[in-house]
Every structure is written in C-alpha cells, then in structure tokens.
C-alpha cells in the first residue's frame, strides 16, 4: 500500500480551501494516493453532501463523526480519530486548512507521529487572544513543515514569529479559486429570485460567532438593528441552527423575525450563497471567509467584529470593520455612500493558488 497524502477537513469552510488543492494535486501527480478525512466537527448530512458535490470533492474516505462539544472535547476526539487514521495508513503528508479545532488536532496528531504537516491558509493573525481560532492558527503554523500563505501580511506574521522562511510559500488564496471556478454556475441558479428580490437590491447577512450570538443582550440588539435595516433594503439572513436557538432564547423566533420583513432561511449550499454574495448590495458578517470572498467579488462587506485576521481585505479589498457594537449596523447606509469601491485584484488571488500549492506539495514529496 502506498503512503497517501491525507487531507483533513472539519467544517464546511475547509472544503472550499481544500478542494482546489486536492483537485490540482490529482492533476499534477496522478501517482499520488489521496485520502480525504472528514472529522465531522461541523456536520449536517444534507449540507455536507451538497458542499462536496458542488466543489467536485469525492465522498470522504473516512468520517470520524466527532460532533459538537467544548473546544477541548472536539480537539481531543479529532486528535484521537485522526491519529488512528494516520497511523493505520502511514500517511506521507497531512494537509490541513484554516483554523478550526480539527485543524489543530490533525496537525498535532501528525507531528507526534513524525508525519509532516502542510497548512493551507498559514500566517493569519487577528492578535485577539479571546478568539479560540487564534490559538489554533498559531499552534498549527508552528507544527507545520509547509506553510501556504495567501498574502504578504501573512508571510510577514510568520517571519515575526521566527518560522523558517524556507518553509513558507506565498501561493495565494485557495478559497478564491473555488469562488472564481464556481461563480458562473452559481449565478445561473439566480437564488435571489426565490426571495423576491432583484440583483443588487438586497443585503446578505451571516452571523455565527459565539462572541456575538452567545451574548443575549448583544444578539437582541443585532436583531433589532437588522429589522431596522430591512426597512431600507430587503435583508436575506440564512440562519445557522445554533444562532437560531440563541435568537429563540431572546424572543426572536424564526417566525417572529420573518414577520418583520427579514428574509429568514436555513443555511444555504455553497453555490446559492456564493451567488447571493456576488449580487448583494452589501454583506454584513462576522465570518472570516466571507470577508475574503466579498473582496474578490468587489462587494462591500461590513464585519461586525473588533478585529480581523485578514487585514488585506481592508487594505486592498472591500471590507470595513464595524466593531462589535451592534449599534454600528445602523451606520451602514451612510458608510455605503462613502464606500470607495473595489480596489485592484489582491495579488495571487487569481484562481491559481490551488495549483501553486499542489506543485509545492509535489516537489516536497519528490
């Protein structure tokens, strides 16, 4: 049995980051055996299948089903599960992406077994120690032999932390590869028509971070701000089940929110969400990946957080950091009028990051 390259994913954003690398590596070196492991950290059978199909990824070779739990529980379960797979299959390389608990767990399991780690999306830093993802990013980078950065600022962060420059590769943003590759198919679906809105005449909202949704007062204030915003522009809000349960707890059930004029729906597949991003008047989010996607799509993005680990989206993209105060949402119409519009394309966000990453992996293994 050959030694496979093991790709570990744990949450849906990992799919968009890994798919371009996985598919390019099959083309660059078809002799390599590729193994796809889904830890199941975030898992919905229907949604996961949709994402895999839409991104042209095969069904996972291994599904660990670790499920929800505290950060420690998720990390521990993924660590044990991934270690078993890596040990049994004697993997040649473990490829991880992003900053979820499964990312760190897989990197730690591989390093303990002396299996080299490749980290897609290395070097991101928010410098906000209250974010659990910040610890995952830092530790994974320091465990990795191959670090694939998406911007100059990420490379600079790694240099400041003393990581050997020979390990760092500025390849660009693999998530943007997925955006550019799937945009035509996404737009052909015209999902905005299902919400009774026209292109460019609606706002898209996505909120999920515990710092926001677990604070009852803050979440209640956000809901009221969105209701106010919907009086000026239709607002489409795909609500994560966890977010909805918190909204229920502060008196904003799905039915109650829907009666205010907000277009409430369940989480969307990759293509439908991408199309809505591309045709929104603006996007309001607390997500990291959405900041990047909107910058690539030249759509104004307003981030309801105090910090971002993706400063390039502010410096060269279309992102504005609102801060964590829900009251700032009401300032969006005014900020839109002053929005400078899209900048030039961010360097290396050109749809070829997956290929550059695959070539570096192939050279390393050779």
Q: What percent of the chain has pLDDT over 70?
A: 96
**Mean pLDDT score, 48-56:** 73
> What pLDDT is recorded for position 343?
62
> What pLDDT is recorded for position 204?
98
E-strand ranges in the chain read 5-9, 34-38, 62-63, 93-97, 117-122, 146-149, 168-170, 203-206, 235-238, 263-265, 282-285, 301-303, 319-321
Q: Which domains does the chain have, with CATH numbers?
A: 5-173+349-365 (3.40.50.2000), 182-337 (3.40.50.2000)
Q: What percent of the chain has pLDDT over 90?
A: 77
Check the CA dihedral 47-51-54-57 and report its sign.
Answer: negative
Rounded distance between C-alpha atoms, residue 325 and residue 188, angstroms: 37
Residue 310: strand, helix, or coil: coil
What does the block give as tokens for 22? Answer: 């996985």
pLDDT band at 309 (very low <50, low <70, confident <90, very high): very high
Beta bridge partners of 6: 35, 94
- Owner of token pair 């956000």: 222
Least confident span in 66-75, 104-113, 124-133: 66-75
Whether the per-residue pLDDT at 363 is higher than 90: the answer is yes
Question: Among this protein's residues, is 71 annotated catalytic?
Answer: no
**Mean pLDDT score, 97-124:** 97
Q: Which residues lie below 8 Å from residue 153, measured CB to CB, with a gap of 6+? A: 123, 311, 312, 315
Among candidates 93, 128, 91, 104, which has minimal Cα distance to 41?
A: 104
Residue 281: strand, helix, or coil: coil
CB-CB contact of 183 with 277 (8 Å)? no
> What pLDDT is recorded for position 241?
82
Least confident span in 8-17, 176-185, 217-226, 342-351: 342-351
Candidates 142, 169, 208, 240; catalytic one? 208
3-state secondary structure 148-196: EECCHHHHHHHHHCCCCHHHEEECCCHHHHHHHHHHHHHHHCCHHHHHC
Q: How far apart are the first and last CA of the chain?
A: 18
Mean pLDDT across the chain, nearest whole number?
93
Among candidates 101, 172, 170, 117, which has minimal Cα distance to 7?
A: 117
Least confident span in 89-93, 167-171, 208-212, 349-353: 208-212
Whether the per-residue pLDDT at 45 is higher than 60: the answer is no
> What pLDDT is recorded for position 67?
81
What does the block give as tokens for 230? Answer: 């919907």
Helix 101-112 crosses helix 132-143 at what angle (to 10 degrees)? 30
- Residue 72 vs residue 50, higher pLDDT: 72
pLDDT band at 1 (very low <50, low <70, confident <90, very high): low
What length does the chain have? Answer: 366
Whether the per-residue pLDDT at 69 is higher than 90: the answer is no
Least confident span in 52-66, 134-148, 258-272: 52-66
**Mean pLDDT score, 143-152:** 98
CB-CB contact of 271 with 16 (8 Å)? no
pLDDT band at 66 (very low <50, low <70, confident <90, very high): confident
């Amino acid at each position: 049995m050959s030694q496979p390259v093991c790709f570990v994913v744990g949450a849906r954003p990992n799919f968009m980051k890994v798919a371009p690398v996985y598919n390019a590596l099959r083309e660059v070196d078809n002799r390599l055996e590729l193994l796809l492991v889904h830890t199941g950290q975030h898992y919905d059978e229907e949604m996961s299948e949709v994402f895999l199909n839409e991104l042209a990824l095969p069904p996972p070779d291994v599904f660990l089903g670790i499920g929800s739990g505290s950060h420690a529980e998720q990390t521990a379960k993924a660590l044990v599960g991934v270690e078993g797979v890596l040990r049994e299959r004697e993997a040649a390389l473990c490829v991880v992406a992003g900053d979820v608990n499964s990312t760190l767990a897989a990197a730690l399991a591989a390093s303990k077994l002396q299996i080299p780690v490749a980290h897609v999306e290395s070097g991101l830093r928010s410098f906000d120690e209250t974010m659990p993802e910040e610890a995952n990013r830092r530790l994974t980078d320091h465990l990795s032999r191959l670090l694939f950065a998406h911007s100059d600022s990420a490379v600079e962060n790694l240099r400041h932390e003393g990581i050997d420059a020979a390990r760092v590769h500025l390849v660009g943003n693999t998530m943007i590869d997925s955006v550019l590759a799937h945009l035509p198919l996404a737009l052909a679906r015209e999902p905005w028509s299902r919400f009774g809105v026209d292109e460019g005449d609606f706002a898209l909202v996505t909120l999920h971070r515990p710092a926001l949704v677990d604070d009852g007062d803050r979440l209640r204030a956000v809901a009221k701000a969105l209701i106010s915003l919907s009086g000026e522009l239709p607002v489409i809000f795909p609500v994560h089940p966890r977010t909805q349960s918190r909204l229920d707890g502060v008196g904003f059930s799905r039915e109650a929110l829907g009666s205010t004029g907000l277009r409430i729906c369940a989480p969307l597949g990759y293509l439908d969400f991408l199309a809505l991003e591309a045709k929104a008047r603006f996007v309001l989010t607390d997500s990291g990946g959405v900041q990047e996607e909107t910058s690539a799509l030249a759509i104004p993005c307003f981030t309801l957080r105090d910090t971002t680990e993706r400063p390039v989206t502010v410096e060269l993209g279309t992102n504005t950091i609102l801060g964590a105060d829900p009251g700032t949402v009401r300032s969006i119409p005014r900020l839109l009028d002053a929005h400078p519009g899209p900048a030039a394309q961010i360097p290396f966000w050109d749809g070829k990051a997956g290929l550059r990453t695959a070539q570096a992996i192939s050279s390393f293994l050779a």
